Amino acid sequence: MDNQYGDLDCAGCSSSPVAFGIAGYFGFFVNPQLMLMAEADGTFQKLDALGANLLAQTSLILGARFNVNPQLYLKGGVGWAGLSILYDDTVGTVEDELANGGALMLGVGYEFLRNYNFAMDASFKFIGASYSDLDDEIYTGTINLGISWYL
């Protein structure tokens, strides 16, 4: 993959650098098993050994969550994804937007602690994004710990 300045690589990183991310969603239950939702995600991966430059993939997904049973759920959706690089120089952080494209999200989760309006869960989520400007696709798989508040 490259941008206007040349090839992108991870100098000083291992062959599969670890990334970190943040996500949030809101939605409403159509019935006790089906929730319609909007989800925003951001995944950040360092591009240099010091971690001063980050590759950021953000996404906004419209989708659904289906409760297989009261604790186990499946979710999926489609939406938009953006890819950019965050450069940290002596003045501040500069963002270089690389591309925008379509995204697909699939996930499975388990609420291990649940009461009437609060739950904690562990989940696995996969997001695939296609960037026509780069003629490339980026896939992320994340293991998540989450907190939900139900009204």
Interatomic CA distance for residues 143 and 129, integer angstroms: 18
Q: Per-residue pLDDT averaged across 129-149, rounded?
A: 90
Tokens of 56: 């950021």
Tokens of 3: 């941008």
Q: Per-residue pLDDT averaged across 113-139, rounded?
A: 91
Q: What angle do CA 16, 20, 22 make, to 5 degrees?
A: 145
Tokens of 61: 């997904």
Is 18 a residue whose pLDDT tops 80?
Answer: no
What per-residue confidence (pLDDT) applies to 66?
98
For the entire predicted model, the pTM comes to 0.81
Q: Per-residue pLDDT averaged across 34-48, rounded?
A: 91
